[in-house]
Structure 1
C-alpha cells in the first residue's frame, strides 16, 4: 500500500476530510477542556458548519501537520501559551488571515502576524500569610530576594508557563537581570520544582512553601469548587496581582491560527471570527475561568469577579513568543529546570 493510500485511509478513519467544503471544519486542538464542547457546539448551531476535531499534545499535533504537508486536512490549530503558538509559527504552518472583525475586536498587542489570542490567564503570586508577609511578594522580582530563602515553590522552569514569564522579564528588565533573578529563585526553592500549578497552590496552603506562582484559572477553579478540601486550601492562602506599580501582571493566552494548507479556508476564517464573538468570549470566562480578550464582554464568574480588576502587562504577544528560546537558555544556566 502506498504512503498516499495510507494517509487517505488514516484521514478517513479519523473522520476528517481534505476535500474543501463550506459545511465542514477540521480542527487540531491542544486545548484539553471538556467544557470546550459547548464552544464548538455553539459554532455549529450558528453556522451549520460541522466540526471535526483531533485533540492531542502540541508537539504531536505539530509533527502531524508537518508530516501531512500539503495533504493535511487540518484547517485550524488551537493551543495555549504564547511560546507554543510562537513555535508553531516558526514552523511556517500558519497562513495570515485578513479580517476586519478580528482586528476590530482583538487588541493589537494580543495579535501576532499569523495567529490570534482569544482568552488570557494571569500569572499570579499565591502566598501563605502565616509564613510570608504581603509586602514581601508584591512583584515577581521579589521572589528572588534572600528573605524568601526556602519558601518558594514552582513547577518546572522548562514549562512553557514559566518560560513565558521569563521571556516577559527579559523584555522588561533585560537578560542579565533575568538570569540573576532566575538564580535567586533557584536559591529560594523550598523543594525541587514538581507538579502543576494546582500542586503549587496546595503546597502553599499546606505550608510546604510560603509562596508560589500559578496561572489564575487554576486558582479560580479551586475558588469555584464545591469540594471541602478545595475551599479549605483557598481559605489558607492569599493572592497578589504582581507588578501593579511597574509593568503589570504577566498574562498568557489561548490562541489559534488558520493553517497554510487549510482545505476549508472560508470556514476557518468564520471560526476564528466566531472565537472573537461575544458568545465565545463570554464562554471562555464563564466556562473555563479565563478572561476574554474583548474588553466589552461581561464576565459572569464568581471567582474572577472576586479576584477583581488588575493592571495587565501589554507587551505585544508576538514579541513575547520571540524571546522564549532566550529564556530557556537563561533558565538552563541558572539551574532552573
Structure 2
C-alpha cells in the first residue's frame, strides 16, 4: 500500500492507530538519563538490574567529566541529564562548582552512604572507593623491600617504576594529596624522583602497567587496586595469568596512609526525570546494588552492609590518607604545573 509521497507501508497486522499508540508508549516510557565517565561492564549489568526492578530504562551518555559538565552547562534548562556518574572526588567537586548539580538528600541515601563518602551539602554521594597502591613483580621484588610512595624515588628503583601519564585524574589527585600533606616543594621533589626512576615514558592505562611488569619492562607500578581484582577474575586467561604474577602493596601504612579516591553520583540541576534519578541513586547505593557493583568492578563499596568478594575482604583493612578527596580538586592545577616542570608527560 502506498501513502502520499510514495512511502510504502508494509502491512504487519497493525493499524495506523495501533502504530501511533505504540510510538506514544515508547515516548512516554519511564527513563533516567545517566551522563557517565565510567567504562566498566558491571555498570551495564547494574543498569539492567535497575530496569528489571523498576521498569525505568537507563540511557547512557558517555564522555570525560569536563565534556559532560560543559554540555550540561551549555544546554542549561534544556539539558537531558538526570544523573552525573563519574570517577574522582575532584571531578564531583568540579561539577558542584560549575553549578550543574542540585542537592539530593533522602533518608535512604543518608543511610546507605557514610558521611565520609558524601558531600557535606549533599550535592553528590559516593558509590565506591579505590586505593592507589604499589603493584610489584612477585618473582623479582620482595614485599619487605616496599614501604612508601616516597621510597619509590630511591636510587635502587632507577629504571624500574611504571606509571600512566600525568593527564590521568588518578595521578593528578595522587600528587594533589602529596601537596595537601607535605606542600608543593616536597610534592615536586617526589615527582622528580619518580621521573628519574621511570622504566619507560608513561603510556597506557593501569592494566598496561601490570602487563609491562610481567614483560619485565619494570618491576613496580603505581596502580588502582580494582584493576588487579578485575584481571584476577577476567574471562581472559592471559589477564588472569598476568595478575597472578603480581603482588599488591598498600604504601605508607606507618606514615600518612594510602591514597584513596571515589566514584560518585550527582543529581543534575535540571533533571527532567528527577524522581527516577533519585530511585537510581538509591539503588546504586543500596546493599543489593553495591554488592552487584563490587562483585564486578572490585572497587570497595561505600555501603557497609554490602557483600564483598574475598579479595576485597583481604585488602580492606588498611590505613588511608586523612584527607577529603573531593577537596583535592583545588590543587589539580598545582599538580599539573608540577608534572610539566619535572617532565612527567
Verify same fold: TM over 0.5: yes
Deviation at 1:224, TM superposition (A): 1.3
Name the residue aligned to 2:189: 180
2:94 matched residue in structure 1: 87
* Alignment of 1:317 onto 2:325: yes
Q: 1:308 and 1:88, CA in 2 relative to 1: closer, same or farther beyond 3 A? A: closer
Q: How does 1:220-231 map to 2 (within 5 A)?
A: 220-231=229-240
Q: Which residue of 2 aligns with 1:137?
A: 146
In structure 2, the gaps of 5 or more residues are: 1-22
Give the secondary structure class of the aligned counterpart of 2:156. Answer: helix
CA distance in 1, matches of 2:80, 2:244: 48
Does 2:254 align with 1:208? no
Greater CA drift, 169-178 or 53-62: 53-62
Structure-2 residue corresponding to 1:191:
200
Deviation of 1:201 after TM superposition, in Å, equals: 0.8
Structure 2 match to 1:37: 44
For residues 183 and 225 of structure 2, the distance between their equivalents in structure 1, rounded to whole angstroms, comes to: 25
Aligned to 1:241: 250
Counterpart in the other structure of 1:11 = none
Does 2:106 align with 1:99? Answer: yes
1:25 aligns with 2:3: no
Per the alignment, residue 304 of structure 2 pairs with 295
Query: Secondary structure of the equivalent of 1:332?
Result: helix
- The alignment partner of 2:248 has SS state of strand
Give TM-score scaled by structure 1 length: 0.86
* Rg comparison, structure with higher value: 2
Report deviation, 1:209.
0.5
Q: Is 2:273 the partner of 1:261?
A: no
Structure-2 residue corresponding to 1:124? 133
- What corresponds to 2:5 in structure 1? none
1:44-89 per-residue CA deviation (whole Å, 9 max, x = no partner) reads 3333333333223333322321221111121111111223223322
Distance 2:29 2:321 in 1: 38
Indicate yes or no: 2:50 matched with 1:73: no
Rate the CA distance shift 1:236–1:267 in 2: closer, same or farther, 3 A.
closer
Q: After superposing the two structures, state which structure 1 stretch, 155-164 or 243-252, moved more.
A: 243-252
Q: Which consecutive residues of structure 1, in runs of 5 or more, have no partner in the other structure?
A: 1-14
Where does residue 12 of structure 2 map in the other structure? Answer: none
Decide whether aligned partners of structure 1 residues 106 and 237 sit closer, same or farther in structure 2, where only a CA change above 3 A counts.
same
**What's the CA shift string for 1:286-326, capped at 9, x where partnerless?**
12211111122221x25434546323334223222332222
Post-superposition offset of 1:246: 2.3
Quick check: 77-86 or 253-262, which moved more?
77-86
User: What is aligned with 1:161?
Assistant: 170
Q: Aligned pair in 2 of structure 1 residues 221, 50: CA closer, same or farther (>3 Å)?
A: closer
Aligned to 2:165, the other structure's residue is in SS state coil
Q: Partners of 2:178 and 2:115 in 1: how far apart?
A: 20
Q: How many residues align?
A: 318
Q: Specify the alignment match of 2:295 in structure 1.
A: 286
Instruction: Indicate conservation of the 8 Å contact 2:260/2:325, yes or no.
Output: no
Corresponding position of 1:6: none
Equivalent pair of 1:109/1:317 in contact (CA under 8 Å): no
Contact 2:211 2:242 in 1 (8 A): yes
